[in-house]
Amino acid sequence: MKRSFWITLAVSVTVCAAALLMQSMKNRSLAEKLASQNAVTGTPDIRSQGVAPTTVSSDERIERARSGIEKLIEDPPAGSMVDVLRMVEGLSLDELIAVTRDLPSSYIRRFLVILAAEQDALRVSRDEKLMGDFYMPEIGRMIAKQDPVRALESLPKPKPVEYSASCMRCHAEGATKSGGCIRSIPIGDGWGIATTLFIEDAEAGLRALLQMDKFDNSKLRKMNEPLPKLALAGSIRLNDDQLSAITAAMNDPEYASIRTDMINLALTDAIHEEGVAAMAQRMKTLPLTEEELDRYMDSVIQDGSGGSSGNQLDILFTEPAETIQWVADTRSETDQRKMIPDMVLNWAKRDANAAFGWISKQAPSPLRDATIARLVTKGPNLEQGSAESWAGQIQDQALRESTLQELLKAGR
């Protein structure tokens, strides 16, 4: 038993030693192959890039990296991004920026700009030569995460500036004679900074969003609509601090210009996360006017077909019963009689069984009568006798008789 154990152990050791020897030979072969390839292609070796000898000056490191990357841009091999990383490894931020500034526009240059921004995004965004023609909203988000205070200070200050077509992608302290503008941070980056700040620090974010709203008086304001877009996309989930900040800001006249945006964000976030019932509950905690309630209701209740624009919600399509209940809980009886029969009619056009099933659960009332009358006369055709049966359930005698007469004339 013991001898078999030692034999097994000896075999295992021999196998491990052989494996280590083969791996060592393979590593040495790869190193030699890499050195040979660098000699042929002129690609700087990582040892001269990432861990440069102290005798190599900064200018030499910059020139080596730049020349190697330029060759990759001209004739990019497979895995070139790995080679790029090797060439800039160990460079300081100043050196990395110096390498990148003079490179031709390419995906490699864009990659290096992002790499530099990971160290100091605000400095990178302000370097017009470095940024070139690139527009990278992600840099704005980096600024907000790296230094929220500096990010807020970096936003353009409100000023009544009219933008020409050539200025649409930038913000301006003032227009130049050539029709361009003096850029420090693009408008898109400003909105990106503000929305990221809101996610990180709600109060600072709302101040930033207000500042951008006051500054951006061009057509871009309508194009961006950052708060509604965030909510419609369901891209963030509001926490208690953010909701508290929104409620406080809604009570502050200074934030009046973005009040509608804040309402849309708070309520639509609830719809995305938990549904219409949760939105209705959250609405009770916000200081809304009757006009604001009407405006929001109009914006999220469509025709129930689900075919509306992707920039609009259609809660009658996604949650018809809950949407009708919300209207019933928040509107006057007169408004309910105007709205609910049409809402149930639109629901029935898509799912008659569900719509009539909902009606069957409602207690007798003038609203139920009006809804039945609307569905049997204007809705989808029912089986013979079914429409008359439903019309017979109408409590109001005059409405019941007129409905039956209309069915008779229409042959329904």
CA dist 268 → 36, 101, 254, 336 (Å) = 60, 43, 23, 22
How many secondary structure helices (H) and strands (E) does the chain include? 24, 0
Token code pair at residue 99: 């390498």
Non-local CB neighbours of 408 within 8 Å, separated by 6+ positions: none
For residues 194 and 187, what is the distance between their CA atoms, to the nearest angstrom?
Answer: 11
What is the pLDDT at residue 10? Answer: 41
306: left (phi over 0), alpha (psi -120 to 50) or beta: left
The domain limits of the chain are: 56-132, 135-224, 231-330, 336-412
Are 337 and 365 contacting, i.e. CB atoms less than 8 angstroms apart?
no
CB count, 10 Å around CB of 398? 8
What is the pLDDT at residue 52? Answer: 46
CA 361, 392, 375, 403 torsion: positive or negative?
A: negative
Q: Identify which of 266, 177, 285 has the alpha carbon closest to the alpha carbon of residue 227.
A: 266
What is the pLDDT at residue 82? Answer: 85
Are 349 and 380 contacting, i.e. CB atoms less than 8 angstroms apart?
yes
What is the pLDDT at residue 1? Answer: 39
What is the pLDDT at residue 363? Answer: 96
Give the mean pLDDT per block of 10 residues along the chain (412 residues): 38 42 40 41 42 72 91 74 88 94 86 91 84 73 76 60 39 38 53 78 86 66 55 69 94 92 89 93 94 92 70 86 96 94 95 95 96 93 85 96 91 70
- The structure's pTM equals 0.60
